[in-house]
Amino acid sequence: MDQQSPAVHPVLACADAIDVALKDVAGVDPTFMRVGEKAEALRRLDGLESRLAGLRMRVMAGAEDVAETTADHSAATWLAVESRTDPRERVRELALARSLERRWTRLAAAVTDGSVNLAQASVIVHALEDLPEKEVGAEAVAKAEEALIGYAEQYAPRHLRRLGRRILEVAAPDLCDEAEGRALEREERRAASVTSLSLRRLGDGTTRISGRLAEEVADRLRTYLDAYTSPRHRGIVEGDQVPPRRRLGQAFGAFLESVDPDRMPLHGGDATTVLVTIDLETLRSRLAGVGMVGEEPISAGQARRLACTASIIPVVLGGASVPLDLGRAYRLFSSYQRKAMAVRDRRCRAEGCTVPAAWCEAHHATNPWIRGGRTDLADGVLLCSWHHHRAHDPRYDARRLGDGDYRFHRRT
Mean pLDDT per block of 10 residues along the chain (412 residues) reads: 70 92 91 92 90 89 85 86 88 90 91 89 90 81 90 90 80 68 73 88 87 84 75 44 77 75 56 56 59 63 60 51 43 63 84 80 66 60 82 82 86 73
Domain end marker among 171, 204, 239: 171
Coil/strand/helix, residue 21: helix
| Confidence (pLDDT) at 213 | 86
| Confidence (pLDDT) at 180 | 63
Whether 167 maps to a domain, the answer reads yes
pLDDT per residue over 161-204, tens digit each? 888 877 877 777 766 666 666 666 677 788 888 899 898 988 88
| Confidence (pLDDT) at 326 | 43
| Confidence (pLDDT) at 1 | 47
Whether 111 maps to a domain, the answer reads yes
pLDDT per residue over 291-318, tens digit each? 666 556 666 666 666 656 545 555 555 5
Whether 103 maps to a domain, the answer reads yes
Whether 97 maps to a domain, the answer reads yes
Number of domains in the chain: 3
User: Which residue, 395, 92, 94, 350, is CA-closest to 237?
Assistant: 350
Whether 128 maps to a domain, the answer reads yes
Domain end marker among 276, 292, 327: 327
Spatial contact of 75 and 64, defined as CB atoms under 8 Å apart: yes
Q: What is the distance between the alpha carbons of residues 50 and 111, in angstroms, rounded to a whole number?
A: 8
| Confidence (pLDDT) at 124 | 93
Query: Quick one: 52 and 112 in the same domain?
Result: yes
Whether 28 maps to a domain, the answer reads no
Whether 373 maps to a domain, the answer reads yes
Query: Quick one: 263 and 346 in the same domain?
Result: no
E strand or H helix that includes residue 180: helix 176-194
Q: What is the distance between the alpha carbons of residues 304 and 347, in angstroms, rounded to a whole number?
A: 23
Domain end marker among 306, 327, 348: 327
* Domain that includes residue 283, residue range: 259-327
| Confidence (pLDDT) at 328 | 42
